Amino acid sequence: MSGANLDNANLEGANFKGAIMPDGSIRD
């Protein structure tokens, strides 16, 4: 998933956005 898609959290799902850790990693 691209960073641009993260800007559209409402379309992709807020839970995915919430999975982005403060250190920049993505939790599956």
Instruction: Compute, in degrees rounded to 10, the torsion defined by CA atoms 17, 12, 2, 7.
Output: -60
Query: For residue 23, what pLDDT is reported?
Result: 73
Query: For residue 13, what pLDDT is reported?
Result: 56
- Are 11 and 22 a contacting pair, CB within 8 Å? no
Query: For residue 11, what pLDDT is reported?
Result: 52
Query: For residue 5, what pLDDT is reported?
Result: 52
Query: For residue 7, what pLDDT is reported?
Result: 56
CA distance linking residue 27 with residue 19, whole number of Å: 5
pLDDT one-digit tens code per residue, 1-28? 555 555 555 555 555 555 666 776 666 5
CA distance linking residue 22 with residue 11, whole number of Å: 22
